[in-house]
Amino acid sequence: MNKGILVYAEVTSDCYLHTVVFELSNKALELSAKLDNAPVMALLLIKPDLINEYKEAFQKSGFDKVFYVVDERFSKYTTDLFATAAIQAIEQINPEIMLIGATCQGRDLAPRISTALHTGLTADCTGLDIDEKGKFAATRPTFGGQLMATILSKNSPQMATVRPKVFKPSPMDVVRDTAFIKLSVNLTNFVSRTEILELSKKIVNEINTLDSAEIIVAGGRGMKNSEGFGLIKQLADKLGGTIAASRVAVEMGLAPQEIQIGQTGKTVSPKLYIACGISGALQHTIGMNCSKKIIAINTDKDAPIFGICDYGMIGDAFEIIPKLIKML
Ligand SMILES: Cc1cc2nc3c(=O)[nH]c(=O)nc-3n(C[C@H](O)[C@H](O)[C@H](O)COP(=O)(O)OP(=O)(O)OC[C@H]3O[C@@H](n4cnc5c(N)ncnc54)[C@H](O)[C@@H]3O)c2cc1C
Helix, strand, or coil (residue 293): strand
Q: What is the pLDDT of residues 172-184, one digit of tens each?
A: 888 889 999 999 9
- Of 135-139, 146-150, 307-311, the range with the lowest mean pLDDT is 146-150
Q: What is the pLDDT of residue 208?
A: 61
Q: Are β-strands 136-142 and 147-151 bridged in parallel, bridged antiparallel, or unpaired?
A: antiparallel
Q: What is the pLDDT of residues 12-32, one digit of tens each?
A: 988 899 999 999 999 999 999
Nearest to 256 by CA among 294, 215, 201, 219: 219
Pocket around ligand 1 at a 6 A CB cut-off: 144-145, 220-222, 246-249, 260-265, 277-279, 281, 283-284, 287, 297-300, 303, 316-318
Span 246-252, average pLDDT: 97
Q: What is the pLDDT of residue 298?
A: 98
Q: What is the pLDDT of residues 287-318, one digit of tens each?
A: 999 899 999 999 999 999 999 999 999 999 99
Distance CA 76, CA 290 (A): 32
- How far is the centre of ligand 1, averaged over its atoms, from the C-alpha of 310 (Å)? 19
Distance CA 244, CA 212 (A): 13
Nearest CA to ligand 1 atom 25: 278
Distance CA 246, CA 257 (A): 9
Q: What is the pLDDT of residues 187-214, one digit of tens each?
A: 998 998 888 888 777 665 556 678 889 9
Flag whether pLDDT at 243 surpasses 80. yes
Q: Which atom of ligand 1 is nearest to the CA of 246?
A: 11
- How far is the centre of ligand 1, averaged over its atoms, from the C-alpha of 284 (Å)? 7
Q: What is the pLDDT of residue 268?
A: 92
Domains of the chain: 5-182 (3.40.50.620), 205-327 (3.40.50.1220)
Global pTM value: 0.81
Instruction: Out of 142, 248, 261, 266, give the residue to mutate to test ligand 1, the one with the largest number of ligand atoms within 8 Å of its CB.
Output: 248
Flag whether pLDDT at 54 surpasses 70. yes
Q: What is the pLDDT of residue 9?
A: 98
